[in-house]
Amino acid sequence: MPSIAQENLETVMIDFFGALRRGDFGAAAGLLDPDVSWQGLREDWVCHGREEVVETFRWGLEQRREIDALEFTRGGEQVVLGARGPSIGPAEEPLGQIFNVFTLRDGRIVRIDDYRGRREALTAAGVAEDADWR
């Protein structure tokens, strides 16, 4: 039987992003807690509730940003997604990378927090000891 951490990883990596990729926004919304919140890189970039979160992902998919690499790291209730590419980040300030920390409870995403750096995101998710791959 898979651990909760493994189930959370699969929920984010396969179920949630798979639904978004297929354009099945209803299925993606079903994996979000009704009171989900998403804190972006800036204090005023915040989404509250399923509809706002799904609409933000829909908008992001429409932008079709080039992605060179993805990394998923599990850590108990959190899953860290790192994305690297030339146009990742705000249009006026491309960062080249971004890290999202997904917090899950009972199989649903309850919170998403964005970070500029990998170590910061892994620390927030409680997996900083794995910050450097061997």
Residue 132 lies in a domain: no
55 pLDDT exceeds 90?
Answer: yes
134 pLDDT exceeds 50?
Answer: no
36 pLDDT exceeds 90?
Answer: yes
Residue 35 lies in a domain: yes
Split into its structural domains, the chain has a count of 1
Q: Which domain holds residue 53?
A: 4-126
pTM confidence score: 0.91
> Who's near 56: CB < 8 A, 6+ residues apart?
38, 47
Distance CA 73, CA 40 (A): 19
8-state DSSP, 130: G
Q: How confident is the model at residue 94 (pLDDT cuts 50, 70, 90)?
A: low
Instruction: Tell me the CATH number at 31.
Output: 3.10.450.50
Of residues 62 and 92, the one with the higher pLDDT is 62
Q: What mean pLDDT do residues 13-32 have?
A: 96
